[in-house]
Amino acid sequence: GAGTPCAPPEVTPLKYCIKYCLNPATTHPLCPVGWTLHRRKCFWVTSKSSSWRESRENCSHQRAQLLVPEDQGELDFLNRVIQKPTRYFWIGLSQPSVGMAWTWLDGSRLDQSRFNLSTPNASGACGALREDRIISETCGSALAWICQKEAVLGGEMRFWGFGGGR
């Protein structure tokens, strides 16, 4: 057979794949089945409930992390796609100890001018999403959670033989 336009390198000449399969003009972001694409990120909203730590580990097993939103627009988008009735969802925000700064999983501090932490709970040291607001919650509480990962460009997936061919 002729093979697919972007088969693995041993089938298709490497120059062809570099020109057509990895061309930014021909690529588009893709997410795993069951994940939702927004901008260049993939989101997975669970219907299960776990502690913050268990939720973080679950995302990690999926080569993802708990949600670290880029801006309020991302929270607004997630609020639209999350199934109602309204629930609480763990995100990648925590307070290491009382009096310390709230910190995202990527190590950056919570910027209160970008995201307002509603109802700071004296006993809550983990961040959760409720509708389009970030709240504090007790880390051991059983909540649903949201994982995120970077989308994979379609051309990259075809190049490595993960689909996209005919």
From first CA to last CA, the distance across the chain in angstroms is 12
140: phi then psi, degrees, rounded to nearest 5: -85, -5
Q: 3-state secondary structure string, 77-98?
A: HHHHHCCCCCCEEEEEEECCCC
CA 151 – CA 41 distance, rounded (Å)? 5
Distance CA 125, CA 91 (A): 12
pLDDT score for 121: 58
Q: Which residue has the higher pLDDT, 34 or 13?
A: 34
pLDDT, tens only, 75-84: 888 888 887 6
Question: Please, what is the Cα angle at 154 between 150 and 158, to 5 degrees?
Answer: 125
Domain 47-149 CATH class label: alpha beta
Enumerate the domain spans of the chain.
Answer: 1-31+151-166, 47-149
Instruction: Check whether 62 has a pLDDT greater than 70.
Output: yes
* pTM: predicted TM-score of the whole model, two decimal places: 0.73
State yes or no: pLDDT of 136 exceeds 60.
yes
Residue 144: the pLDDT is 94
CA atoms of 117 and 111, how far apart (whole Å)? 9
Q: How do beta strands 144-150 and 88-94 pair?
A: parallel
Percent pLDDT > 90 in the chain is 40
Q: Are 166 and 5 in contact (CB under 8 A)?
A: yes
Q: Name the token pair of 123.
A: 């006993």
Average pLDDT over residues 118-133: 77
What is the separation of C-alpha 4 from the centre of its chain, rounded to a whole number of angstroms?
A: 31
Q: Which residue stretches of 22-83 are H helix?
A: 52-61, 72-81
Using DSSP, state whether 5 is helix, strand or coil: coil
Which residue would you say has higher pLDDT here, 109 or 7?
Answer: 109
Distance from C-alpha of 8 to C-alpha of 98, rounded to nearest angstrom: 53
